[in-house]
């Protein structure tokens, strides 16, 4: 069985996540109880220019990580899956573990100011994904 296409999809996902501004956007969305934030909030938090943020959001939208909704002139972005928030939790845990092994004082200070994320365990994430996959293939 050829699994290469699945690895290509996963690689595209990780490429889309491979920018600090995109990760920051995703963490802002993940920290919200509804997994949603208006573009104005994302601009405020990232400090990005509107055109640059728009490009980052388009990349995240293209891989299906976020979706948008418009009400009048206001545009909100939302995580498409709570599992994205859990992926960020696992990435945060990995980051903090790495920082514990010799980070600078400024890196430790910066880590303390990261937005809170919902809790998850790597095993819980895997089990949720496997259950979703099993349900989709029935």
pLDDT tens digits along 40-97: 999 999 999 999 999 999 999 999 999 999 999 999 999 999 889 888 888 887 887 7
CB 60 within 8 Å of CB 92: no
Class at the top of the CATH hierarchy for domain 1-80: mainly alpha
Say how far apart CA 99 and CA 8 lie, in whole Å.
30
Which among 18, 135, 108 is positioned nearest to 65, based on CA atoms?
Answer: 18
Q: Give 138's pLDDT tier (boundaries 50, 70, 90).
A: low
Q: What is the pLDDT of residue 99?
A: 75
Say how far apart CA 126 and CA 132 lie, in whole Å.
10
Q: Locate the domains of the chain by residue range.
A: 1-80, 81-137
What's this model's pTM, rounded to 2 decimal places? Answer: 0.79
Which among 13, 1, 27 is positioned nearest to 113, based on CA atoms?
Answer: 27
């Amino acid at each position: 069985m050829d699994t290469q296409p699945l690895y290509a999809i996963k690689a595209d996902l990780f490429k889309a996540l491979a920018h600090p501004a995109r990760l920051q956007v995703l963490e802002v969305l993940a920290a919200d109880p509804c997994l949603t934030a208006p573009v104005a909030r994302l601009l405020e938090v990232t400090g990005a220019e509107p055109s640059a943020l728009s490009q980052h959001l388009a990349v995240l939208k293209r891989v299906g990580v976020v979706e948008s909704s418009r009400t009048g002139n206001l545009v909100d972005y939302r995580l498409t899956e709570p599992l994205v928030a859990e992926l960020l939790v696992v990435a945060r845990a990995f980051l903090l573990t790495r920082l514990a092994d010799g980070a600078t004082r400024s890196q430790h200070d910066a880590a303390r100011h990261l937005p809170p994320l919902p809790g998850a365990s790597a095993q819980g994430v895997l089990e949720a994904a496997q259950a979703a996959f099993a349900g989709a293939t029935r």
